Structure 1
Amino acid sequence: MGRYVFAIVIGTVVTLTLLFVMQLLIVTGKTALTDPRERHKLEFVRVKRNENLNTADLTPEKPPKPPETPPETPPQEMDNINPDAPTISVAAPTVSADTSIGGPGGMNIAEGDYLPIVRVAPVYPARALSRGLEGFVDLSFTVTSAGTVKDPIVLQSSSSLFERAATRAVLKFKYKPRVVDGVPVEVPGVKTRISFQLEE
C-alpha cells in the first residue's frame, strides 16, 4: 500500500514539472516570435526584362572635335622701315708698327715677322651714335709670343667716347708671332688706329 502512494506522489510531481516546463517554453516562444528586434524581413523584387530596349541609345557619344588651329599670322610687311635711316659702318683699323729689330750693323735678324690674322671691328658706342659723332683712337700694344694682344694703351683719340670700344676690339686681335732664331718673341710698341665713321 505504501509503495502505491509513493509512486502516485512521484508521478504527480513529474507531471506537474513537465507541464510547467512546457508552459514556460510556449511563453518564451511567443515572445521570441513577437519581438520585432529579432525579426529580419527579406524582400525579393523581380525585375521584368525590357525587351524593347533600344541598343542604339547605349552607344557612347563621340568626343567633341578639337578646336581648329588658328590661322597663321601673316608676316608683317616692311613698308614702315625708313629707307633713309642712317647705317653704321666701322672702318677697318689701320695697323702701323715697326716690324724690324735692330741688330749689329743695322741688320734685320728677324726670321719671321708678325702678321695680323684676326682683326675684330669695334662696337660703335651708343652715346656717340646718338650724337652722330665720328672719330678715331690711336693705340699702342704688345703682340705676345702666342699671337695675342696685351697691355693696350690709348695714345690719343678724337673723343673719350670711343676709347673703351677701341681697346676692347684691339684685345681680340690675333697675330702670327714674330720668330727670332726659331723662337717666337714678343713685339712691344705695335701701333694701330681705329676709326669710327657713319655711312651717309
Structure 2
Amino acid sequence: MFRIVVAFVLAGIITLGLFFLMQSLIQSGGSALTEPPRGSVLDFVRVKQDEQIEQKERKPEKPPKPQEPPPQMEAPPMEASTPDGQAGGMDFSADVGADVALDGGLALQSGDGEYVPITKVAAVYPRRALQRGIQGYVIVEFTVTKTGGVRDPFVVESEPEGIFEQAAMDAVLKFKYKPRVINGEPTEVAGVQNRVTFEIDG
C-alpha cells in the first residue's frame, strides 16, 4: 500500500514538471515569432558594367604571287647493256643513226606519204669488244616492209670488220616504221641504210 502511494506522488510531481516545461516552451516560442530579428542584413547586388564592343574590319589579303615552276629536268641518256648485264666498269653506247634510202634520198625529207621510223632499239655492245676497248661502226642496208617491219638486212660497211656486224643487224631487225603510202596503199621501201655506232665513253 505504501508503494502505491509513493508511485502516485512521484507521477503527480513528474506531470506537474512537464506541464510547467511545456508552458515555458510555448512562451519562449511565441516571443521568438513576434520579436523582430536583431542585427542587420546586407544585400549584395552586382551591377554589370557597360561593355563596349569594338568591331574590326578585316580586309581580304591579296593572294601570294605564284612561284615560278621548277625547270624541267633533262632525261638521262639511255645506255645499252651487255648480254650479261654488266658494263665492265665503262660507259658505252651504240648509237643508231638516221635512215637513208638509196632510191629516195633522205628518209624524212619527203611528204606525208613517206616512211617514218617509230621504234629504234639500241644495239648490244659485244662483250669482247667492250673488254678490249674496241670502238667502231656498222652501216646496215635493209628493206622496210608494207607492215613497217625490217627484212633482208646486210652489212654495207663496218669498221673494224668481224666484231660489230651481228650486233648491228640484230638491232636493225627490231626497228619499226610507219610504211610509205602511195595512192592510199602501203609500199615497200628497199635500199634503206642505217649507221650504228659503237663508242665507249670515259
TM-score (norm 2): 0.50
1:143 deviates by 0.2
Match among 90, 97, 103 for residue 94 of structure 1: 97
1:99-151 deviation per Cα after TM superposition (whole angstroms, max 9, x unaligned): 8759xxxxx99751000000000110011011100000011000000000000
Gaps of 5+ in 2: 1-87
SS of structure 1 residue aligned to 2:166 = helix
Cα RMSD after superposing both structures: 2.4
* Contact residue 177 and residue 185 of structure 1 kept, 8 A: yes
CA distance in 2, matches of 1:192, 1:147: 15
Q: Which residue of the partner structure matches residue 161 of structure 1?
A: 163
Distance 1:130 1:138, change over 3 A: same
Whole-angstrom CA distance in 1 between matches of 2:92 and 2:164: 14
Residue 201 (structure 2) pairs with residue 199 (structure 1)? yes
In the alignment, residue 118 of structure 1 is paired with which amino acid? T
| Cα distance, 1:181–1:109 mapped onto 2, change above 3 Å | farther
Q: Could you tell me whether the CA contact under 8 Å between 2:94 and 2:123 is conserved in 1?
A: no
Deviation at 1:197, TM superposition (A): 0.4
Maintained 8 Å contact 1:142/1:188 = yes
Any residues of structure 2 matched to 1:31-110 within 5 Å, and which? Answer: 86-98=89-101
8 Å contact kept, 1:110–1:179: no
1:109–1:195: structure 2 CA closer, same or farther, 3 Å change rule?
Answer: closer
Q: Percent identity?
A: 46
How does 1:10-49 map onto structure 2 within 5 Å? none
The verdict on how the C-alpha distance between 1:96 and 1:197 changes in structure 2, with shifts beyond 3 A counting, is: same
Task: Count matched residues.
Answer: 111
Contact 1:99/1:114, CA 8 A, preserved across alignment = no
**Which amino acid in structure 2 is aligned with residue 119 of structure 1?**
K
Aligned counterparts of 2:127 and 2:179: Cα–Cα separation in 1: 34
Counterpart-to-counterpart distance in 2, 1:154 and 1:177: 22
> Given the alignment, which residue of 176, 179, 183 partners 1:174?
176
Distance verdict in 2 for CA 1:109–1:131, change over 3 Å: closer
1:99 and 1:113 in contact (8 A); partners too: no
**Aligned equivalent of 1:141:** 142
Distance 1:169 1:184 in 2: 24
Gaps of 5+ in 1: 1-84, 103-107
Aligned amino acid, residue 90 of structure 1: S
Could you say if the C-alpha distance between residues 175 and 99 of structure 1 is closer, same or farther in structure 2, counting changes exceeding 3 Å?
A: farther
Instruction: Summarize deviations over 1:136-187 as a string: whole Å, max 9, x none.
Output: 0011000000000000010010121100000000000000000000000000
Partner AA of 1:179 in structure 2: V
